[in-house]
Each structure stands twice: as C-alpha cells, then as structure tokens.
Amino acid sequence: MSAIETGLDPGLCDSLRGVMDPEIGINIVDLGLVIEARRSPDAICVKLTLTSRACPLGELVIAEVRERIASTYPTVAQVDIDLVWDPIWTPDLITGRGFELLGRPRTRTLT
C-alpha cells in the first residue's frame, strides 16, 4: 500500500518525525500514533492517537505537533489536529523502523 492510499503524506510525516513521544522516546510516526496526515496547499489535517487514554502528556504531544507543522508549513492557513481513539493503539501500529529504534524485533505483522 502506498503512502497516499494509507492517508499518510510523506512530507508531513517527515516533519512529524521530529515530534517525540515523551514517555517512550521515539517519534510519533514510527510509534504508530499518526493515523492520518493529509496536506493540501491551504490545509493540513492530522489525526493521531495516544498509547493510552490516560496518557498525562497528550496535550504536550498535540502542542508539539501544532508547533512542528507551523514551523514546517508557515503559509498553510488551516491546520486541524484531531485526537482519535479508533483505531485503538496497539504495538501492531509501530513501524518496522520504530521497532529498530526500540531495539526490538518485530515478532508479528498485521494481516
């Protein structure tokens, strides 16, 4: 599946890789927290989740996403960042690169 089919804009994801999960210590893209990242010339839409609804640092992550987008795409007029709970985050959402960053092998893949 290509990045377009999954709803993950490659350039936007590259920018969001600069946002680290404050508890786990890897970026939110490779951790699988970015569910959707779409960009047009005048709007950006990001849907992300957290590893837990009880995450005490969720607002910090969202603020960092907003700051990162503003610095990377300063001319974009509309930025929507939505916190979603569907799908529920599981380790299955971690990318192969994310497992490498964690120093762990992927033991299963989604089918």
27: phi then psi, degrees, rounded to nearest 5: -70, 155
Q: What is the pLDDT of residues 15-50, one digit of tens each?
A: 999 999 999 999 999 999 999 999 999 999 999 999
Question: Which domain covers residue 77, as residue numbers?
Answer: 3-101
* Total number of domains constituting the chain: 1
pTM above 0.85, yes or no: yes
In a domain, 108, yes or no: no
Contact 46, 34 (CB under 8 A): yes
In a domain, 44, yes or no: yes
